[in-house]
Amino acid sequence: MSKNTATYWNTLSTEHIDKWEPIEGSGGMLEQLTLAIDSITGDYTRLTRFKAGADTKRFGGKSHDYPEEIYIISGRLYDTAFNQWLEAGHFASRPPGEVHGPFICEEDCLVMEVSFPSQSISSK
């Protein structure tokens, strides 16, 4: 199986605002939009929108047992685990287990995430 496919569509258009989902526990400060997912492996591509003022300290640092890639599309985001501001153009390819966050966002920030649960170290 592979990820679902879609023809061109503008994910940021107001006509698609209903496709964005609030991230539970974020008080409406974080939203996500899954662009593609493999229903068998769980591999996915997602957009995450951090609204100005978002702070994920209550979630603490995060890590996954699978690799993921992130790309900052717009805005800026502070990653406390790396003591670094991430701005539009920043890219990371994270290995399984790498801790990232919590994040602080002073201005709206849009992040693209490509995650590979099929490559989970716990399933090997």
Q: Which two tokens stand for residue 117?
A: 């649960």
* pLDDT tens per residue, range 48-75: 999 999 999 999 999 999 999 999 999 9
At the top level of CATH, the class of 20-123 is mainly beta
Predicted TM-score of the model (pTM): 0.90
Going by C-alpha positions, the residue among 87, 57, 85 that lies closest to residue 74 is 87
- Please state, rounded to an integer, the average pLDDT across all residues of the chain: 94
For residues 120 and 26, give the distance between their C-alpha atoms in angstroms, rounded to a whole number: 26
Predicted local distance difference test score (pLDDT) of residue 19: 92
Beta-carbon contacts of 124 under 8 Å, excluding residues fewer than 6 positions away, are none
Q: Which residues of the chain have pLDDT under 50?
A: none
Q: 39 vs 56, 63, 67, 116, CA distance in Å?
A: 28, 22, 18, 12
Sketch the domain layout of the chain as residue ranges. Answer: 20-123
